[in-house]
Structure 1
Amino acid sequence: MVGRLALVSLFCCLVAGLTVVNAEDPYLYYTWNVSYGTVTPLGVPQQVILINGQFPGPNINSTSNNNVIVNVFNNLDEPFLLTWNGIQQRKNSWQDGTLGAQCPIAPGKNFTYHFQVKDQIGSYFYYPSTGVHRAVGGFGGLRVNSRLLIPVPYLDPEDDYTVLINDWYTKSHAQLKGLLDSGKLFGRPNGVLINGKSGKEANSAPLFTMKPGKTYKYRICNVGMKTTLNFRIQGHPMKLVEMEGSHVVQNVYESLDVHVGQCYSVLVTADKEPRDYYMVASTRFTKKVQTATGIIAYTNSNAPASPVLPEAPVGWAWSLNQFRTFRWNLTASAARPNPQGSYHYGQINITRTIKIVNNNAKVGGKLRYTINGVSHVDGATPLKLAEYYGFPEKVFKYNIIKDDPVPEVAPIIAPNVANITFRTFVEVIFENHETTIQSWHLDGYSFFAVAMEPGKWTPEKRKNYNLLDGVSRHTIQVFPHSWSAVMLTFDNAGMWNLRSELTERRYLGQQMYISVLSPEKSLRDEYNIPENAELCGLVTGLPKPQPYSI
């Protein structure tokens, strides 16, 4: 009996030891050198931002719950930051990569990002958040794969391809920034790129290959500046399976409108004649349609791609109707983003309604863009640092915008920060009074996209909401003279950026920050400032505040 107890005790000790060894989730380590380089994406040599010599930058290929460590060395001649578009930094806005949350990486310096991707299986990307660096590269794909314990609602594809599509300018980022600083806009893009290539360069060799009879996953992200792009593959329908971290009802599409900042994952089966085929990305809602093509080749291809390209849809009503076909896959065990309240979001009482209205105005003869009459400016001290050190009033004022805006005589130019009570369920209405399409993104969260309609929003419109299976996502488009409604629980403490994904508008003030404060100041709700965090502005040289505890 004693021997048996000893064996049981030994077994328990071994199990306990194994548990300790495997307690922490796996780590992925990357070292990135950010530098300038010269490429010719539109046939014109120009300066771009390279990461480890690559344009676009390297893919991050992670699995849910991985800890991602990215040591970024800034070899540019100006400050630099990367933001991880759509990755929910749970309790960790310190790693968000926006100027309101952290100090930029100074030239010649480095910063090590550390974030955990958690269970948000899907397709994302990263890009520079400083200035207009996004206009010249520094972007790349970021995928979160499923752990073996979490099944996905489709068979494993033969291969997995990242497709980054974007509008492109041949001007340098300094020239584009100079235009905005002088009160002018970029104007029409010079072209469109697919994975950093366009035209003859893209078609000189296949971008991707497919084996006959096999099914492939394509992760399509619009990493551009301002233009909605329509994506399609010659002769091949696409089965949509995921968008921005949520598995969706698997409808089949001939083409998809991908708005700025959005990502879709589709399955494509190589069941056509063995030859080459074009993938096509073309501009939408522009007077002049610009197009990029890239080759997908069957491995037994015996003919070049047909020069007859599939046509793109016309009008934004088509795009609105496509949005209405998107539904969350409620039977899938994944992808489900980190809980934002209950998945039964339609049964939660709304505690606050915030209407976001985009607009523009002239200030001193120069163009500015606003949210509810406020045009945001970044200061020398990140908002999060001022708040964490206990003197936010020296840097900004909370809630200078109104939840239900009224026309302003003149815009306010100031840091734009709204305080939202921790764990409240909020309805956000994006209302677009202009003639151009808008795209909005919220860091740190996914929201339920419940409705999108022409006209102006009124409370009576709630009867048209999808309160059952609206897709949980992080970026939403708003059509001209229309509105879009989203709902979410603000349960992720931190300082989070809400921005126009259109670079001109974001740079000229159409962004804001949402402060979600945990009243208990506990590590259960928010992490302490990282040891490697840079201190700048008013907090330069100050000792770190008393850390949070459990």
Structure 2
Amino acid sequence: MARVALLVVVSFLCLAAAAVRAEDPYLYFTWRVTSGTIAPLGVSQKGILINGQFPGPNINSTTNNNIVINVFNDLDEPFLLSWNGIQQRKNPWQDGMPGTNCPIPPGKNYTYHFQVKDQIGSFFYFPSLGLHKAAGGFGGLRVNSRLLIPVPFDPPADDFTVLIGDWYVKGHHALKEILDSGRTLGRPNGVLMNGRSGKSEDGKNDEPLFTMKSGKIYRYRICNVGMKTSLNFRIQGHSMKLVEMDGSHTMQNSYESLDVHVGQCYSVLVTADQKPRDYYMVASTRFTKYHLAATGVIRYAGANKPPSPDLPPAPVGWAWSLNQWRSFRWNLTASAARPNPQGSYHYGSINITRTVKLANSVGTVGGKTRYAINGASFESGPTPLKLAEYFGIQKKAFQYDVIADDPPKDLEKSIKVAPIVLTATFRTFIEIILENPTRSLQSYHLDGYSFFPVGMGSRRWSPEKRKTYNLLDAVSRHTIQVYPRSWTAIMLTFDNAGMWNLRSEIWERHYLGQQLYTSVISPAHSLRDEYNPPDNLLLCGAVEGLPLPPPYTI
């Protein structure tokens, strides 16, 4: 009887372990990062490849999956990956930005381990050091809903990732030298779609990126992974039903084209309801004096007729784009990653505890161009800010709150260069006003969070503008545009402890200082709020060789 009882207990424990493993499965990847010759615009240049691929491999995951990626850096320089839109709940140690993590040294490897908790949707990864993003190293990252969570549309016949972005034929070292010399990058040389520019003379030589069967419905995940330019995306002869953006299900409106700003991702359903032949997808520049475009071919299965050379035109003007943004609404009845409606978080009824106004500007420091937020241009030292804070040497590395919650009256008069770290009280609900007094479009991203973009308008923001806010169904997202000489208001709860990057996604502005970090510290110092650093944590700068502080406990 004792032996039978022991077998029963062992069997139960095995089943329990299997149940835990089944609930939160692990996905393992091994990536080798190398340099290689690519020619996406017909000009040979050195690119950054992952497992020999440009763009890099797609990650296809599901809510609560543990993602383990062993990255071998075979470049001759340090390398670091970040995960655009993945919130890294309680786990800033895997964020992959230079202010939180040490880079992977040449010839070394580092294993990222993070869980895509309570998230669904379309995201991407990218290299976050210097101008690496201009050389490749990026790829798609999707998080599917678990089977027990209903999705507000039927399963598509297939699921496609479309990575669009502007492109330079100069290498990332040459681009870095341009910025370091005080000049700007200027106009890009072209636009890419999944690493190709597309459109041969008659379309006959363009290999299809995707194939659809007549009568079927397909999901397209469109992400702007570029350096600086907003792009308009459209599909010849087809409308697109928007179903998700930046990880949130939306009301399912149909669009002929979509403005996709740098750092943003959209998910649309496309019905193969046209005559069988090839059709062009088009991504073209917006809000620029120049016109650049990329195309990709969609083929109907069994068709052999090339696409029409007449490409659908892009919209004109930023007012059109603003009106499109106003049409986006959160689907309040859709389920979230957990079994509750995503709209159950009534952000409009939460009291605002703090208003922070952030205004971007450009000026010169020492005769060289610098980009700033509230009169300060970000520059960090050899020690990542998060590590300096964690090891208790923060005062040697940076000062908190070197900028005020309101921008100075003359933004460009005197730009100071320093690490910029704002402090935010844990679990407070904050309103952030992003002001853009310049003539070019801005795009901002916040790591570690999703926020509610509740309002946009021209000129400067004032408290009376709150009367125009959408306090019911603004789409929760992680990247938002600010139109020229306009403002955007966002709201969020700072409930994710860590050090998180708020940055311009216009990468030359980011590189030259238009970014900051927000330090969100849980006063409890508990594992309930923030994980301990991993055993394989890379140390560099002033913390290299230091013993780890005592770990957090529950």
1:94-493 alignment runs, 5 A limit: 94-200=93-199, 204-334=206-336, 343-406=345-408, 407=410, 409-493=413-497
Q: CA deviation at 1:518?
A: 0.7
Counterpart amino acid of 2:84? Answer: N
Contact 2:83 2:124 in 1 (8 A): yes
Distance in 2 between residues matched to 1:511 and 1:205, nearest whole Å: 40
Q: 2:432·2:489 contact (CA, 8 Å) conserved in 1?
A: yes
Find the aligned partners of 2:340 and 2:47 in 1 and give their Cα distance: 35
Kindly, what percent of the aligned residue pairs are identical?
Answer: 69
- Aligned residue type for 1:189: P
**Structure 1 residue 40: Cα displacement:** 1.1
Alignment of 1:508-519 (within 5 A): 508-519=512-523
Shift of 1:378: 1.9
Q: Under a length normalisation based on structure 2, what TM-score does the superposition of the two structures give?
A: 0.96
Q: Is the 8 A contact 2:211 2:301 kept in 1?
A: yes
1:529 aligns with 2:526: no
Q: Is the 8 A contact 2:451 2:491 kept in 1?
A: yes
TM superposition shift of 1:19: 2.6
| Inter-CA distance 342–302: structure 2 relative to 1 (3 Å threshold) | closer
Deviation, 1:340, is 11
2: CA distance, partners of 1:44 / 1:9: 69
Q: How many residues align?
A: 546
Classify 1:12/1:326 alpha carbon distance in 2 versus 1 (closer, same or farther; 3 Å): farther
Distance 1:110 1:393 in 2: 31
CA contact (8 A) 1:246 1:335 kept: no
In structure 2, what is the Cα distance between the partners aligned to 1:22 and 1:453? 51
- Note the C-alpha offset of 1:23: 2.0
Indicate the larger mover: 344-353 or 399-408. Answer: 399-408
**Residues in 2 aligned to 1:535 and 1:11: alpha-carbon distance in whole angstroms:** 47
The answer to whether the 8 Å contact 1:367/1:508 transfers is: yes
Give, as a single letter, the amino acid of the residue that structure 1 aligns with 2:44. Answer: P
Q: What secondary structure is seen at the aligned counterpart in 2 of 1:23?
A: helix
- The residue identity in structure 1 corresponding to 2:439 is T
AA in 2 matched with 1:320: L
- C-alpha contact (below 8 Å) 1:340/1:445 kept by paired residues: no
- In the TM superposition, residue 204 of structure 1 has moved relative to its aligned partner by 2.2
Conserved in 2, the CA contact under 8 Å of 1:34 and 1:74? yes
Partner of 2:42: 43
The alpha carbon displacement at 1:301 in A equals: 1.2
1:182-233, CA deviations, whole angstroms, 9 ceiling, x for partnerless residues? 0111111100000000135795210100001000000000000000000000
Partners in 2 of 1:339 and 1:128 — Cα distance? 34
Paired residue secondary structure (2:425): coil
- Structure 2: which amino acid aligns with 1:530? P
Structure 1 vs Structure 2 CA RMSD: 2.0
> What is the deviation of 1:339?
11
Where structure 2 has 5 or more consecutive residues not aligned to the other structure, the ranges are none
Tell me the equivalent position of 1:18.
15
Query: What CA distance in whole angstroms lies between the structure 2 residues aligned with 1:444 and 1:62?
Result: 18
| Change over 3 Å in CA distance of 1:465–1:336 after alignment to 2 | farther
5+ residue gaps, structure 1: none
CA distance in structure 2 between the partners assigned to 1:21 and 1:524 by the alignment: 25
Stretch of structure 1 that moved more, 170-179 or 402-411: 402-411
User: Could you say which residue in structure 2 is the equivalent of 1:76?
Assistant: 75
1:78-104 Cα offsets, whole Å, 9 max, x none, are 111010000000111110000110101
CA distance in 2 between partners of 1:32 and 1:339 (Å): 36
Q: Per the alignment, in what secondary structure is the counterpart of residue 520 of structure 1?
A: coil
SS in 2 for 1:175: helix
Q: Tell me the distance in 2 between the aligned counterparts of 1:71 and 1:105.
A: 11
Q: Give the aligned partner of residue 497 of structure 1.
A: 501
Aligned residue identity for 1:392:
Q
In 2 relative to 1, CA 131–317 (structure 1 residues): closer, same or farther, beyond 3 Å? same
Contact residue 69 and residue 114 of structure 1 kept, 8 A = yes
d(CA) in 2 for partners of 1:337, 1:504? 41
1:473 match: secondary structure: coil
CA distance in 1, matches of 2:361, 2:12: 61
Give TM-score scaled by structure 1 length. 0.96
CA contact (8 A) 2:332 2:343 kept: no
CA displacement 1:56-88 (0-9 Å, x = unmatched): 000000011000001111111111101000000
8 Å CA contact 1:50, 1:56 repeated in 2:
yes
The one-letter amino acid of 1:21's match is A
Report the secondary structure of 2:481's partner residue: strand
- Cα deviation, residue 8, structure 1: 12
Match of 2:55 in 1: 56
Taking the aligned partners of 1:200 and 1:112, their CA distance within structure 2 comes to 39
| Superposed displacement of residue 22, structure 1 | 2.1
